[in-house]
């Protein structure tokens, strides 16, 4: 299923606005990158992090959504990044990198065990000697989806040309598959039809993720529980492995 959130320009125009608060993940990854080194940003989206890292590194940004990369190419610093339209499960660039990353919970869009393993193989295939990887996924124990109800998630989004837009989520958790199906809604002023799109994301457990990483030939050197660098605990909001090839 094509996710309109990432592929329809009507939704993509809200992406950067909705994700402008907080940049702890950006700061952490910038520190992790080597000056002048090479970086592969899988699922780079609209390219905010890739363009910033390109000021000091050789950066390749990969995303399957052309609408997102259209925004990435136009942003300041976008001309310094090698943008590639491709799927993180199957892309093979024939190059090795000093850092491979997936931020913004990109890993969670891969819903099955098979797809998650494929992404981890992609990471392993593109890590150079001494290279490191990092990515994030929400900790299912925290049950973040409980906040994605219309009442709890309602917010007013200030769009530069559309004005004040009312936005909200609705979500349903399936325990059997560990997948959340959620819908995103935007009510634009002027009597326009409400924009609505359905998405799905997975919530793998840490122990399952650890086994898949090991099977992919990846060694986790550190498990973080947030982007401030705190060690992982059962109540941490995030699961963030950092490591290298085994």
Mind listing the pLDDT tens digit for each residue in 119-132?
999 999 999 999 99
Phi, psi at 8, each rounded to 5°: -100, 120
Tell me: the pLDDT tens digits for 103-112?
Answer: 999 999 999 9
Which secondary-structure segment (H or E) carries 126? helix 113-126
What's the pLDDT at 36? 77
Q: What is the pTM of this model?
A: 0.95
- With a CB cutoff of 8 Å and minimum separation 6, the contacts of 215 are 117, 120
Cα angle for residues 26, 67, 102 (degrees, 5° grid):
30
Query: Where do the structural domains in the chain lie, given as residue ranges?
Result: 4-139+204-245, 141-202
- With a CB cutoff of 8 Å and minimum separation 6, the contacts of 35 are 56, 57
Helix (H, G, I), strand (E, B) or coil at 234: coil
Strand spans (E) along the chain: 38-42, 58-63, 82-85, 97-102, 127-135, 137-138, 155-159, 163-174, 179-187, 195-202, 218-224, 238-245
What's the pLDDT at 1? 54
Domain 4-139+204-245 annotated CATH 3.40.50.150: yes
What's the pLDDT at 22? 67
- Give me the residues of the chain with pLDDT under 70, please: 1, 21-22
What's the pLDDT at 134? 98
């Amino acid at each position: 299923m094509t996710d309109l959130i990432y592929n329809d320009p009507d939704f993509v125009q809200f992406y950067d606005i909705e994700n402008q608060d907080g940049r702890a993940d950006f700061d952490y990854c910038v520190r992790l990158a080597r000056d002048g080194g090479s970086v592969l940003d899988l699922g780079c989206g609209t390219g905010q992090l890739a363009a910033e890292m390109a000021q000091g590194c050789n950066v390749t940004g990969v995303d399957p959504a052309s609408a997102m990369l259209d925004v990435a190419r136009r942003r300041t610093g976008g001309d310094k990044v090698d943008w590639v339209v491709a799927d993180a499960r199957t892309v093979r660039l024939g190059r090795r990198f000093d850092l491979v990353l997936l931020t913004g919970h990109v890993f969670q869009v891969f819903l099955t065990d098979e797809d998650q393993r494929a992404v981890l193989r992609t990471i392993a295939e593109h890590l150079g000697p001494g290279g490191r990887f990092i990515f994030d996924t929400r900790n299912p124990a925290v049950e973040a989806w409980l906040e994605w109800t219309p009442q709890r998630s309602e917010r007013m989004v200030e769009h530069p040309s559309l004005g004040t837009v009312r936005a909200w989520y609705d979500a349903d958790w399936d325990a059997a598959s560990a997948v959340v199906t959620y819908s995103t809604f935007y009510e634009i002023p002027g009597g326009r039809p409400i924009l609505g799109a359905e998405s799905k994301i997975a919530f793998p457990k840490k122990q399952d993720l650890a086994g898949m990483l090991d099977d992919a030939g990846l060694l986790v050197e550190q498990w973080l529980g947030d982007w401030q660098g705190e060690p992982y605990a059962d109540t941490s909001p995030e699961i963030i492995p950092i490591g290298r090839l085994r």
